[in-house]
Protein backbone atom coordinates (compact mmCIF):
# COMPACT_ATOMS: atom_id res chain seq x y z
CA UNK A 1 0.00 0.00 0.00
CA UNK A 2 1.19 3.52 -0.81
CA UNK A 3 1.54 6.53 1.50
CA UNK A 4 -1.25 8.50 -0.26
CA UNK A 5 -4.76 7.32 0.59
CA UNK A 6 -8.16 7.09 -1.08
CA UNK A 7 -9.04 10.37 0.69
CA UNK A 8 -6.14 12.20 -1.01
CA UNK A 9 -7.18 10.71 -4.36
CA UNK A 10 -10.81 11.81 -3.88
CA UNK A 11 -9.75 15.34 -2.96
CA UNK A 12 -7.53 15.72 -6.05
CA UNK A 13 -10.13 14.32 -8.43
CA UNK A 14 -12.83 16.54 -6.95
CA UNK A 15 -10.58 19.49 -7.83
CA UNK A 16 -9.93 18.14 -11.34
CA UNK A 17 -13.55 17.17 -11.97
CA UNK A 18 -15.11 20.20 -13.69
CA UNK A 19 -12.30 20.81 -16.15
CA UNK A 20 -11.76 17.07 -16.74
CA UNK A 21 -15.44 16.64 -17.60
CA UNK A 22 -15.45 19.64 -19.92
CA UNK A 23 -12.29 18.44 -21.71
CA UNK A 24 -13.32 14.80 -22.08
CA UNK A 25 -16.80 15.66 -23.31
CA UNK A 26 -15.42 18.45 -25.51
CA UNK A 27 -13.44 15.89 -27.55
CA UNK A 28 -9.91 17.07 -26.71
CA UNK A 29 -8.88 13.79 -25.06
CA UNK A 30 -7.70 12.40 -28.41
CA UNK A 31 -5.79 9.55 -26.76
CA UNK A 32 -9.10 8.22 -25.39
CA UNK A 33 -11.12 8.84 -28.55
CA UNK A 34 -8.64 7.58 -31.16
CA UNK A 35 -6.47 5.11 -29.30
CA UNK A 36 -7.15 3.88 -25.78
CA UNK A 37 -10.92 3.36 -25.93
CA UNK A 38 -11.00 1.71 -29.40
CA UNK A 39 -8.15 -0.60 -28.29
CA UNK A 40 -10.02 -1.45 -25.09
CA UNK A 41 -13.19 -2.18 -27.00
CA UNK A 42 -11.35 -4.49 -29.43
CA UNK A 43 -9.92 -6.42 -26.46
CA UNK A 44 -13.24 -6.68 -24.62
CA UNK A 45 -15.52 -9.73 -24.83
CA UNK A 46 -19.18 -8.95 -25.56
CA UNK A 47 -20.88 -7.16 -22.65
CA UNK A 48 -24.33 -7.55 -24.16
CA UNK A 49 -26.97 -8.22 -21.45
CA UNK A 50 -24.29 -8.59 -18.74
CA UNK A 51 -24.25 -6.93 -15.31
CA UNK A 52 -21.03 -4.91 -15.40
CA UNK A 53 -19.31 -2.63 -12.91
CA UNK A 54 -16.83 0.07 -14.00
CA UNK A 55 -14.05 0.61 -11.41
CA UNK A 56 -13.00 4.31 -11.34
CA UNK A 57 -15.65 5.41 -13.85
CA UNK A 58 -14.88 9.15 -13.55
CA UNK A 59 -17.46 11.35 -15.29
CA UNK A 60 -18.85 8.27 -17.04
CA UNK A 61 -18.12 8.78 -20.76
CA UNK A 62 -16.71 5.25 -21.10
CA UNK A 63 -19.38 3.79 -18.79
CA UNK A 64 -21.98 5.20 -21.15
CA UNK A 65 -20.23 3.62 -24.13
CA UNK A 66 -20.40 0.22 -22.38
CA UNK A 67 -24.12 0.77 -21.72
CA UNK A 68 -24.61 1.67 -25.38
CA UNK A 69 -23.16 -1.71 -26.43
CA UNK A 70 -25.70 -3.55 -24.30
CA UNK A 71 -24.29 -3.83 -20.75
CA UNK A 72 -26.35 -3.13 -17.62
CA UNK A 73 -23.87 -0.73 -16.05
CA UNK A 74 -22.90 0.36 -12.56
CA UNK A 75 -20.14 2.95 -12.20
CA UNK A 76 -18.12 3.61 -9.05
CA UNK A 77 -15.64 6.35 -8.32
CA UNK A 78 -14.09 8.02 -5.26
CA UNK A 79 -14.82 11.54 -6.51
CA UNK A 80 -18.25 12.90 -5.53
CA UNK A 81 -17.92 15.69 -8.07
CA UNK A 82 -17.15 13.36 -10.99
CA UNK A 83 -20.10 11.18 -9.98
CA UNK A 84 -22.32 14.29 -9.95
CA UNK A 85 -21.27 14.97 -13.55
CA UNK A 86 -21.90 11.33 -14.47
CA UNK A 87 -25.38 11.44 -12.93
CA UNK A 88 -26.14 14.72 -14.74
CA UNK A 89 -25.39 13.04 -18.10
CA UNK A 90 -27.66 10.16 -17.08
CA UNK A 91 -30.48 12.63 -16.35
CA UNK A 92 -30.07 14.39 -19.71
CA UNK A 93 -29.83 11.15 -21.71
CA UNK A 94 -30.67 8.08 -19.60
CA UNK A 95 -28.95 4.79 -20.47
CA UNK A 96 -29.77 3.06 -17.17
CA UNK A 97 -26.47 3.48 -15.28
CA UNK A 98 -26.35 3.32 -11.48
CA UNK A 99 -23.48 5.50 -10.17
CA UNK A 100 -22.09 5.30 -6.63
CA UNK A 101 -19.35 7.11 -4.73
CA UNK A 102 -17.18 4.35 -3.29
CA UNK A 103 -13.69 2.90 -3.56
CA UNK A 104 -12.89 0.01 -5.87
CA UNK A 105 -10.33 -1.34 -3.42
CA UNK A 106 -12.57 -1.62 -0.32
CA UNK A 107 -15.80 -3.58 0.15
CA UNK A 108 -17.91 -1.42 -2.17
CA UNK A 109 -21.35 -2.10 -0.74
CA UNK A 110 -22.55 -4.53 -3.44
CA UNK A 111 -23.35 -8.18 -2.67
CA UNK A 112 -20.90 -11.00 -3.38
CA UNK A 113 -21.19 -12.42 -6.92
CA UNK A 114 -23.49 -9.66 -8.18
CA UNK A 115 -21.72 -8.89 -11.50
CA UNK A 116 -20.75 -10.80 -14.65
CA UNK A 117 -17.85 -8.47 -15.46
CA UNK A 118 -15.62 -5.80 -13.95
CA UNK A 119 -14.16 -3.26 -16.37
CA UNK A 120 -11.77 -0.40 -15.66
CA UNK A 121 -10.25 2.10 -18.08
CA UNK A 122 -7.11 4.00 -17.07
CA UNK A 123 -8.04 4.11 -13.38
CA UNK A 124 -6.18 1.35 -11.53
CA UNK A 125 -2.81 3.15 -11.72
CA UNK A 126 -4.51 6.12 -10.03
CA UNK A 127 -5.47 4.33 -6.80
CA UNK A 128 -3.16 3.20 -3.98
CA UNK A 129 -4.22 -0.42 -3.57
CA UNK A 130 -4.17 -2.70 -6.64
CA UNK A 131 -4.34 -5.86 -4.48
CA UNK A 132 -7.49 -4.57 -2.74
CA UNK A 133 -9.00 -3.73 -6.15
CA UNK A 134 -8.43 -7.25 -7.48
CA UNK A 135 -9.79 -8.83 -4.26
CA UNK A 136 -12.92 -6.67 -4.60
CA UNK A 137 -13.24 -7.63 -8.29
CA UNK A 138 -13.03 -11.31 -7.33
CA UNK A 139 -15.66 -10.89 -4.60
CA UNK A 140 -18.10 -9.07 -6.90
CA UNK A 141 -17.79 -11.51 -9.81
CA UNK A 142 -20.07 -14.46 -10.41
CA UNK A 143 -18.28 -17.74 -11.16
CA UNK A 144 -17.17 -17.63 -14.81
CA UNK A 145 -17.15 -13.81 -14.74
CA UNK A 146 -14.23 -11.73 -15.98
CA UNK A 147 -12.28 -8.56 -15.31
CA UNK A 148 -10.76 -6.43 -18.09
CA UNK A 149 -8.65 -3.38 -17.32
CA UNK A 150 -6.33 -0.88 -18.99
CA UNK A 151 -3.49 1.02 -17.32
CA UNK A 152 -0.59 3.17 -18.47
CA UNK A 153 2.11 0.65 -19.35
CA UNK A 154 4.13 0.30 -16.15
CA UNK A 155 7.38 -0.70 -17.91
CA UNK A 156 7.62 2.39 -20.12
CA UNK A 157 5.78 5.14 -18.26
CA UNK A 158 7.97 5.14 -15.17
CA UNK A 159 8.80 7.97 -12.77
CA UNK A 160 12.07 8.60 -14.63
CA UNK A 161 11.20 7.92 -18.27
CA UNK A 162 11.81 10.59 -20.92
CA UNK A 163 12.06 10.76 -24.71
CA UNK A 164 15.40 10.90 -26.51
CA UNK A 165 15.31 13.27 -29.49
CA UNK A 166 17.49 13.96 -32.51
CA UNK A 167 18.79 17.42 -33.46
CA UNK A 168 15.51 18.16 -35.26
CA UNK A 169 13.46 17.33 -32.13
CA UNK A 170 12.21 14.00 -33.54
CA UNK A 171 11.67 11.30 -30.91
CA UNK A 172 14.24 8.56 -31.45
CA UNK A 173 13.59 6.37 -28.43
CA UNK A 174 12.49 6.21 -24.83
CA UNK A 175 14.90 6.36 -21.94
CA UNK A 176 13.48 4.44 -18.96
CA UNK A 177 14.67 4.80 -15.40
CA UNK A 178 13.44 4.38 -11.81
CA UNK A 179 11.22 1.46 -12.86
CA UNK A 180 11.44 -0.01 -9.36
CA UNK A 181 10.65 3.26 -7.59
CA UNK A 182 7.06 2.73 -6.47
CA UNK A 183 6.75 5.90 -4.36
CA UNK A 184 3.51 7.71 -5.12
CA UNK A 185 3.67 11.24 -6.52
CA UNK A 186 1.33 13.88 -7.95
CA UNK A 187 1.61 14.47 -11.66
CA UNK A 188 0.53 17.86 -13.07
CA UNK A 189 -0.57 18.08 -16.69
CA UNK A 190 -3.29 19.18 -19.10
CA UNK A 191 -4.60 17.75 -22.38
CA UNK A 192 -2.40 19.21 -25.14
CA UNK A 193 -5.20 20.28 -27.46
CA UNK A 194 -6.74 22.96 -25.22
CA UNK A 195 -8.59 25.71 -27.08
CA UNK A 196 -6.54 28.95 -26.89
CA UNK A 197 -9.25 30.97 -25.18
CA UNK A 198 -9.78 28.57 -22.27
CA UNK A 199 -8.76 29.30 -18.72
CA UNK A 200 -7.08 26.01 -17.77
CA UNK A 201 -5.56 24.75 -14.54
CA UNK A 202 -3.14 21.85 -14.53
CA UNK A 203 -4.78 18.63 -13.32
CA UNK A 204 -3.18 17.22 -10.17
CA UNK A 205 -3.32 13.45 -10.53
CA UNK A 206 -1.98 11.21 -7.75
CA UNK A 207 0.01 8.40 -9.36
CA UNK A 208 0.94 5.03 -7.92
CA UNK A 209 3.75 3.54 -10.00
CA UNK A 210 4.16 -0.21 -9.80
CA UNK A 211 5.95 -2.93 -11.71
CA UNK A 212 4.32 -5.28 -14.18
CA UNK A 213 4.68 -8.11 -11.66
CA UNK A 214 2.76 -6.04 -9.09
CA UNK A 215 -0.20 -5.97 -11.50
CA UNK A 216 0.00 -9.61 -12.52
CA UNK A 217 0.54 -10.87 -8.98
CA UNK A 218 -2.39 -8.78 -7.68
CA UNK A 219 -4.62 -10.53 -10.24
CA UNK A 220 -3.24 -13.99 -9.39
CA UNK A 221 -3.22 -13.47 -5.61
CA UNK A 222 -6.91 -12.53 -5.72
CA UNK A 223 -7.66 -15.96 -7.24
CA UNK A 224 -8.27 -14.75 -10.81
CA UNK A 225 -6.70 -16.48 -13.83
CA UNK A 226 -5.04 -14.23 -16.43
CA UNK A 227 -6.39 -15.21 -19.87
CA UNK A 228 -5.03 -12.49 -22.14
CA UNK A 229 -2.53 -9.62 -22.07
CA UNK A 230 -2.06 -7.04 -24.81
CA UNK A 231 0.10 -3.97 -25.46
CA UNK A 232 -1.84 -2.38 -28.33
CA UNK A 233 -0.32 0.27 -30.56
CA UNK A 234 -2.18 3.20 -32.10
CA UNK A 235 -3.31 2.35 -35.64
CA UNK A 236 -1.53 3.88 -38.66
CA UNK A 237 -4.74 5.87 -39.33
CA UNK A 238 -4.74 7.28 -35.78
CA UNK A 239 -1.04 8.20 -36.18
CA UNK A 240 -1.88 10.02 -39.38
CA UNK A 241 -4.57 12.05 -37.61
CA UNK A 242 -2.45 12.67 -34.49
CA UNK A 243 1.22 12.42 -35.55
CA UNK A 244 2.50 12.49 -31.95
CA UNK A 245 0.93 9.03 -31.42
CA UNK A 246 3.67 7.54 -33.66
CA UNK A 247 6.11 7.37 -30.77
CA UNK A 248 3.79 4.76 -29.18
CA UNK A 249 3.81 2.76 -32.42
CA UNK A 250 7.53 2.95 -33.16
CA UNK A 251 9.32 2.91 -29.80
CA UNK A 252 7.41 1.87 -26.68
CA UNK A 253 4.05 0.68 -25.36
CA UNK A 254 1.69 3.25 -23.86
CA UNK A 255 -1.06 0.88 -22.83
CA UNK A 256 -1.28 -2.42 -20.96
CA UNK A 257 -4.52 -4.44 -21.20
CA UNK A 258 -5.22 -7.41 -18.93
CA UNK A 259 -8.10 -9.87 -18.97
CA UNK A 260 -8.67 -12.41 -16.20
CA UNK A 261 -11.43 -14.83 -15.19
CA UNK A 262 -12.97 -16.15 -12.01
CA UNK A 263 -13.23 -19.95 -12.21
CA UNK A 264 -16.68 -21.54 -12.63
C1 LIG B 1 -7.80 8.93 -15.19
S2 LIG B 1 -9.36 8.87 -14.41
C3 LIG B 1 -10.18 7.71 -15.46
C4 LIG B 1 -11.67 7.80 -15.35
C5 LIG B 1 -12.46 6.93 -16.34
N6 LIG B 1 -12.25 5.52 -16.15
C7 LIG B 1 -12.14 7.31 -17.74
O8 LIG B 1 -11.53 6.50 -18.46
O9 LIG B 1 -12.49 8.43 -18.10
C10 LIG B 1 -9.01 7.90 -12.95
C11 LIG B 1 -10.21 7.77 -12.01
O12 LIG B 1 -9.93 6.79 -11.01
C13 LIG B 1 -10.63 7.19 -9.85
N14 LIG B 1 -10.08 6.44 -8.71
C15 LIG B 1 -8.80 6.41 -8.25
N16 LIG B 1 -8.72 5.58 -7.19
C17 LIG B 1 -9.96 5.06 -6.99
C18 LIG B 1 -10.50 4.14 -6.05
N19 LIG B 1 -9.74 3.60 -5.08
N20 LIG B 1 -11.80 3.82 -6.13
C21 LIG B 1 -12.59 4.39 -7.10
N22 LIG B 1 -12.14 5.28 -8.00
C23 LIG B 1 -10.83 5.61 -7.95
C24 LIG B 1 -10.39 8.69 -9.80
O25 LIG B 1 -11.27 9.34 -8.93
C26 LIG B 1 -10.58 9.05 -11.26
O27 LIG B 1 -11.91 9.36 -11.55
Alpha-carbon span 152 to 254, nearest angstrom: 6
- Chain segment 21-67, per-residue pLDDT in tens: 999 999 999 999 999 999 999 999 999 999 999 999 999 999 999 99
What DSSP string runs through 3-64? SS-HHHHHHHHHHHHHHHHHHHHTT--HHIIIIIHHHHHHHSPP-TT-EEEEET-TTSHHHH
Kindly give the distance from the C-alpha atom of residue 56 to the centroid of ligand 1, in angstroms, as a whole number. 3
Is the model's pTM score more than 0.85?
A: yes
Asked whether the predicted pLDDT for residue 1 surpasses 60, the reply is no
Whether residue 57 has its Cβ less than 6 Å from ligand 1: yes
Asked whether the predicted pLDDT for residue 199 surpasses 90, the reply is no
Supply the pLDDT for residue 11.
Answer: 96
Asked whether the predicted pLDDT for residue 197 surpasses 80, the reply is no
Which domains does the chain show, CATH number per domain?
A: 6-153+211-261 (3.40.50.150)
Kindly give the distance from the C-alpha atom of residue 126 to the centroid of ligand 1, in angstroms, as a whole number. 6
Q: Please state the atom number of ligand 1 nearest to the C-alpha of residue 37.
A: 8
Whether residue 126 has its Cβ less than 6 Å from ligand 1: yes
Q: Whose CA is nearest to atom 18 of ligand 1?
A: 103
Alpha-carbon span 132 to 190, nearest angstrom: 29
- Chain segment 81-136, per-residue pLDDT in tens: 999 999 999 999 999 999 999 999 999 899 999 999 999 999 999 999 999 999 99
Kindly give the distance from the C-alpha atom of residue 148 to the centroid of ligand 1, in angstroms, as a whole number. 15
Supply the pLDDT for residue 195.
Answer: 77
Alpha-carbon span 105 to 140, nearest angstrom: 11
Alpha-carbon span 16 to 98, nearest angstrom: 22
Alpha-carbon span 165 to 150, nearest angstrom: 28
Amino acid sequence: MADRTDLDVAERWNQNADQWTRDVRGGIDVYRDLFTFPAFQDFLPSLDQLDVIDFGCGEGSNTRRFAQIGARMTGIDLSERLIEHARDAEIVDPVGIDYRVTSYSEPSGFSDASFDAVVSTMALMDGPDINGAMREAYRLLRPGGFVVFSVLHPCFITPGSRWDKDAGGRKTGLYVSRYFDVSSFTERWIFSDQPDDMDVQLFAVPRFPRTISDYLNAVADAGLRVTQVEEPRPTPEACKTVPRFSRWRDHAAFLLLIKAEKHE
